[in-house]
Structure 1
Amino acid sequence: MVTVADVRALARTLPRSSEHLIHDRVKFRVGRLVYVAFSRDEQTMGFAFPKEQRAGLVAADPQLFLLPPASDLRFNWVCCRVARLDEAQMTELVTEAWRMVVPAFLARQRLG
């Protein structure tokens, strides 16, 4: 099972990434843009994800992925159940979420 500490360890390696505690929730940002956020109980993790692909992701694995609250549907955002997430999936989701909020040249430098 993935923990906040696992995400933190990865996020620390991503350029311009910073961690914040906002309203008792751990969030990772680049500048003012949040790319990963945990629920208060750390049971779910929200992450940046293209809106147009969100329904397909949730439909592909509804045990793992879920839509964000209605108030967040306007954002490029989706959520997952942390207990069902493995290390490889977490690495891919967090890295791709980070890629969405950094300048393209920085993503290319880091990820190729």
Structure 2
Amino acid sequence: MVLTLPEVEPRQHGNHLGFRVRDQGFAYLCADDSTMLVKATREEQAALIEDDPRAYKKARTWGRIGWVQVRLRKAHEDEVADLITEAWRMTAPPQIVASAGLTVI
């Protein structure tokens, strides 16, 4: 799903597979494929953790700026897809977001 978003480039980042748009990271798949780190606002992070603490938690290093750790086996697929799309929209330049027919954040 991540690679269907415009101008997304996968790049190895240590033990993670990073997903970037215009050289800016917005999601990282952990080596074991069971967890993903996704860029979010602090408000979205708090809401996700409150709604489903088994599926979401504050990312260890980047959690202080809103990133969330997603336990993929426990999270709902549609919710993860929405979270990834929002992370991409927060990261991609406005003209790329608009060209995809999405609202610029």
1:49 alignment partner, SS class:
coil
Tell me the matched-pair count.
102
Contact between 1:20 and 1:27, CA under 8 Å: does it hold in 2? yes
Counterparts of 1:86 and 1:100, CA distance in 2:
21
The aligned runs of 1:41-60 (5 Å cut-off) are 41-60=32-51
2:3 to 5, 9, 12: 12
| Unpaired stretches in structure 2, ≥5 consecutive residues | none
**Is 1:74 equivalent to 2:49 in the alignment?**
no
- TM-score (normalizing by structure 1): 0.78
| Identity between Structure 1 and Structure 2 (%) | 27
1:55 alignment partner, SS class:
helix
Aligned CA distance change for structure 1 residues 95 and 53 (closer, same or farther; 3 Å)? closer
Bigger relative CO (Cα 8 Å, ≥ 6 apart): 1
Residue equivalent to 2:23: 32
Structure with the bigger percentage of helix: 1
| Unpaired stretches in structure 1, ≥5 consecutive residues | 1-9
Divergent runs of 4+, >6 A: none
1:83 alignment partner, SS class:
coil
Deviation, structure 1 residue 56: 2.3
